[in-house]
Amino acid sequence: MRIAVDASRAALLERTGTERYSLELIRALAEIDRSNEYRLYFNLAPEAGLLRANPMFMARTVPLPRLWSQLRLAVELIRDRPDVLFVPAHVLPLVHPRRSVVTIHDLGFRYIPAAHRATSRLYLDISTRWACRRATRLIAVSHFTANDLRRTYNVPEERVRVVYEGVCARFRPQRDSAALTSLRQRYGLGASPYVLAVGTLQPRKNLSALLRAFRLLLDDSSEPCRLALAGRAGWCHGLIEAEVARLGLTSAVSLLDYVPDDDLPALYSGALAYVQPSLYEGFGLTVLEALACGAPVVASSSSSLPEVVGRAGLLVDPHNPSEIAAVLRRLLTDSSLRAELAAVGPERAAEFSWERCARSTLAVIEEAAACSVAA
């Protein structure tokens, strides 16, 4: 079978959730599949060594600055005539093979419209609606997202498969005190305990509620503590910076910008707690990474996050800063609770792997390829 893959997101150097998903899934497919022929289409040349060697995987870089999926990728698909197309993130070309599989990560643009630009909402809605209508099979990264697809776009249940994301082996507890101290120094975190959040600075991450909770924590505690926000600036990030100033947290909050992959395991491992107060997440990959590194996790009780955390973390109402502050206060003062969560986190994360994700994804691709006609 000849499988075409939209690998455009995998080549980006500063990867967030969908980019990491694309890269790690392609790598895992290269590990497990020596039978099928893969053609990976990039719009940027991948860095040397990005992909694992597999003679059945061939990469092609076909650059185009705009409308790459609809124009450049479509032309390549017409020429190469693959048996099935796999798109790891949302956008199915208008011209595509009769059989296709598309991963839908979330529908946050529908349920939290204020957290997205109007143009982005329109594009995501049109592209997702098209994928839901024309893809042979859809992969949802959580049962929550699968339910959203059925409810919002009336996708028949038989066309949706739930395949969880994975976590890389490098995400594990880091115990080297010298390395942890060095990381603190490089990021200006000092010696105080720090609460960590990782993700693009944008409204749906609900960082304003976290900042208000952290203000309450500092007002009600004599213990020193710092809040570290790791992630590149996104849409409306200026509102977050203004909130830091308004709450008088300038000296207590560290804006770390984008943190390279190599530094993340130590950053997670050294945290007093990892907090994900998002209003909406399709999966929550950073939560899984934090669990794998033994960081005590505090996550929103909304969307897909309870599905990922299970019983390995503490769930909070993302709209209630007082509740978030109370949970953080418990972690700051209760070493036995921190130790308990640090122990169960890696056990929970071990239930997710990119190999398992790849095997399940390949099964969906094979299922789509076997269909007599596209749905």
Q: Are residues 41 and 60 in the same domain?
A: yes
For the chain, residues with pLDDT lower than 70 are 235-236, 373-375
Rounded to 5 degrees, φ, ψ at 138 are -115, 140
User: For position 236, what pLDDT does the model report?
Assistant: 66
Encoded amino acid at 220, one letter: D
User: For position 119, what pLDDT does the model report?
Assistant: 87
Under 8 Å between Cβ of 186 and 259: no
Q: Are residues 127 and 211 in the same domain?
A: no
**CA dihedral for 147, 149, 150, 152, sign (positive or negative):** positive
Q: Are residues 339 and 363 in the same domain?
A: no
Q: Are residues 154 and 193 in the same domain?
A: no
Side-chain-side CA neighbours of 347 within 13 Å: the count stands at 9
The token pair that represents 188 in the structure block: 């200006």
Q: Are residues 284 and 362 in the same domain?
A: no
Domain contains 171: no
H-type helices in the chain, by residue range?
A: 17-32, 74-80, 108-111, 118-134, 143-153, 177-186, 207-219, 237-246, 264-269, 285-292, 305-309, 321-333, 335-349, 354-369
pLDDT tens across 314-361, in order? 999 999 999 999 999 999 999 999 999 999 999 999 999 999 999 999
Which structural domain range is residue 106 located in?
A: 2-166+353-369
Q: Are residues 190 and 54 in the same domain?
A: no
Q: Are residues 110 and 250 in the same domain?
A: no
Q: List CB contacts of 89: < 8 A, sequence separation 6 or more.
A: 6, 9, 18, 21, 22, 103, 105
Q: Are residues 154 and 183 in the same domain?
A: no
CATH of the domain at 65: 3.40.50.2000
User: For position 66, what pLDDT does the model report?
Assistant: 82
User: For position 87, what pLDDT does the model report?
Assistant: 97
Instruction: Name the pTM for this structure.
Output: 0.93
